[in-house]
Structure 1
């Protein structure tokens, strides 16, 4: 019993370490590297306002650089630490092969859209409960694309989702599932995913979002479907913010959430990954 508790405690610390590493890379690139570049781009490096403005203009590019570094770090960690091991043990299953068929792709897309509209409704309630949280998130999103919308879109809609999936549904989930099983590892990684966003609104709605992604990654034994879902989620949010600026119509979002989630449940119930099978001690990537 003590050994089991110890393993769980060490696992929690390990997952927290993964979160801290992820955030540290973002901070080093955004604040340290960005600060150095900004200092050389302004006339007076002691002018705090000028430095802040320069860093804000650099934010989309700095995010892109951080995204590439995160992809490399967690991509290597995931592949060398888990995928390579599974291949050596002969238990590797290709996530691409399991995902890229018509029925599974339609399931992944409908589930992604259903979860997107569900979290949109959830976010509206959070914004109502925490005054100012929506304004803070809007400000952060504007900083992410200010001055270079194309670079900002590439990071938010593509690089960011893949890096986050590698870190949280890849390395963190694989590191925690043996100690906690499906329920504990899903909750643990979802909470860490929420903390990573570092603002009240996004952090709170990211928890159910992260739990849904973790559940899918656990069942598929792969991050391929969750990478697709995450890209769809972020791309939809970005595109709709341009096409339909302003607050979301909560009634429409509720209807769309119900329709897409119902379709996903209908499509997913017959997929092999969701059929009841005996749990194995080790789950391949």
Structure 2
């Protein structure tokens, strides 16, 4: 018979495996596109290869996000939502977050953390070299407001992230780990999955908040909403402030955090969630 410690270790290996699968799908798509580039562009012309790779990067990310969303979305629905419906423990998400205070709390806190993350990212880029250059290259591509980028980064990426981390990984952990474990461990795994030092550092606060609202509302959708708001905001701000968000946004960060604390104290959701038995939509 497994001890609690052995069970926790087993679960940790399982959730790391899920995070690796998340990365493997991205890697497989990258390899497929690399082969396409090698077959269509002369490898002797490094400039042409680089230009083709930059041109195809948004398409590559779109396909990667689509595959991850489908794979983890089906896994989440069949493994948990349908199971809860059959067991009669299903609770519609509308009962959990469809009120003005809850939505306002999620939106305002996400904006505060997103703006703070932007300042952290700019600072890290200034004090680093390789990681900052890579981050700048990635950001420059996805700050272009195109239909493809909107679908990929504002819709599919949040869905893929939420299904994998605040959905399946959370489900694996919730019966054996307390609130801290269910929030911190998936957030760290998600940050590591960015594979870029800048994104790892600035992404942690948002990842923690995504897992926090998913845990507290006992639903995958609040975390998904956090990522949608953040990515939409980053896309809009990136298009407006091409040279980086000005430091003056610090005022808005403070105001948003004050409003967030005020709303937090007004919300009725802070019940005891130590023994969560359902995690539906």
- TM-score if structure 2 supplies the norm length? 0.90
Q: Separation in 1 of the partners of 2:143 and 2:123? A: 26
Cα distance, 1:98 vs structure 2: 2.1
Determine the structure 1 residue equivalent to 2:260: 264
Determine the structure 2 residue equivalent to 1:104: 102
- Please tell me whether the aligned partners of residues 237 and 245 of structure 2 are also in contact (alpha carbons under 8 angstroms): no
Bigger fraction of residues in helix: 1
1:107-256 equivalences under 5 Å are: 107-144=105-142, 149-250=146-247, 252-256=248-252
Q: Separation in 1 of the partners of 2:48 and 2:202? A: 34
Segments of 5+ residues of structure 2 without an aligned counterpart are none
Q: Separation in 2 of the partners of 1:144 and 1:24? A: 22
Cα distance, 1:45 vs structure 2: 5.9
User: Residues 45-79 of structure 1: CA distance to partner in whole angstroms, max 9, x if unpaired?
Assistant: 67665444323321111211111111110001111
Task: Determine helix, strand or coil for the equivalent of 2:186.
Answer: helix
Q: Which moved more, 1:264-273 or 1:213-222?
A: 264-273
- The number of equivalent residue pairs is 280
Determine the structure 2 residue equivalent to 1:22: 22
- Please tell me whether the aligned partners of residues 114 and 257 of structure 1 are also in contact (alpha carbons under 8 angstroms): yes
Determine the structure 1 residue equivalent to 2:9: 9
- Please tell me whether the aligned partners of residues 71 and 163 of structure 1 are also in contact (alpha carbons under 8 angstroms): yes
Q: Which moved more, 1:121-130 or 1:264-273?
A: 121-130
Q: Separation in 2 of the partners of 1:141 and 1:123? A: 11
Q: Separation in 2 of the partners of 1:71 and 1:181? A: 27
- TM-score if structure 1 supplies the norm length? 0.89
Q: Separation in 2 of the partners of 1:282 and 1:247? A: 44
Cα distance, 1:92 vs structure 2: 1.8
Q: Separation in 1 of the partners of 2:3 and 2:133? A: 47
Residue 280 of structure 2 corresponds to residue 280 of structure 1: no
RMSD: 2.3
Q: Separation in 2 of the partners of 1:128 and 1:243? A: 21
Q: Which moved more, 1:93-102 or 1:194-203?
A: 93-102
